[in-house]
Amino acid sequence: MSIMWKYLDKRSATVAAIKDYDNMQFIIDNTDDAIKAERDKIMGIGSPNWDGMPRSYNPGAAEDRILNGIEEIDILKERYRQAVEYMEWFQPAWNQLNEDDRYVLETFYGDENSYGNGAVGYIASYFGIEQSSAYKRKNRALDQLTVLLFGKE
């Protein structure tokens, strides 16, 4: 084990991983469509734009469009690879949490709610507990997910 793991703020990294979950799922779900759209742009013939402005002639415009499209596809594929790698790391730990712990963490850190935006009240009313107990429940769930993701230190 590398010494850097000793100084990594695992709790903050866990919160960041929870916040990234929806974005990574979106990348996985939509990358194929984005690549297809980019390939269609590469293969299509550019049409003139009749806006009355004078044009300059670029004999390499088609090649530039193809190269830009290939670069964009490479970027999309790299994002997809990173999203899949993230899911392979995060999803098993997330699945080991019970439903209540997932609800608490999604409420506090998910895209629908930003921290401090009434999340404590939602959790307190959902479980029928006081707000201080809701914070404790959030901390326990976050600690458990941190251990599942990074191991015990």
Residue 153 clears pLDDT 70, i.e. is over it:
no
CA angle (37, 30, 40) in 5-degree steps: 5
pLDDT on residue 45: 66
Give the tens place of pLDDT for each residue, 97-144.
999 999 999 988 876 665 556 788 888 888 999 988 989 999 999 999
Write down the domain spans for the chain: 9-45+58-150
On average, the pLDDT of the chain sits at: 85
pLDDT on residue 148: 92
Tokens of 87: 């899911």
pTM reported for the whole predicted model: 0.77
pLDDT on residue 62: 78
C-alpha distances out from residue 98 to 2, 54, 79, 123, 141, Å: 31, 64, 30, 15, 9
Tokens of 107: 């409420």
Q: Cα 2 to the chain's mean position, in Å?
A: 26
Tokens of 139: 């901390």
Burial class (CB in 10 A: 0-12, 13-18, 19+), 44: exposed
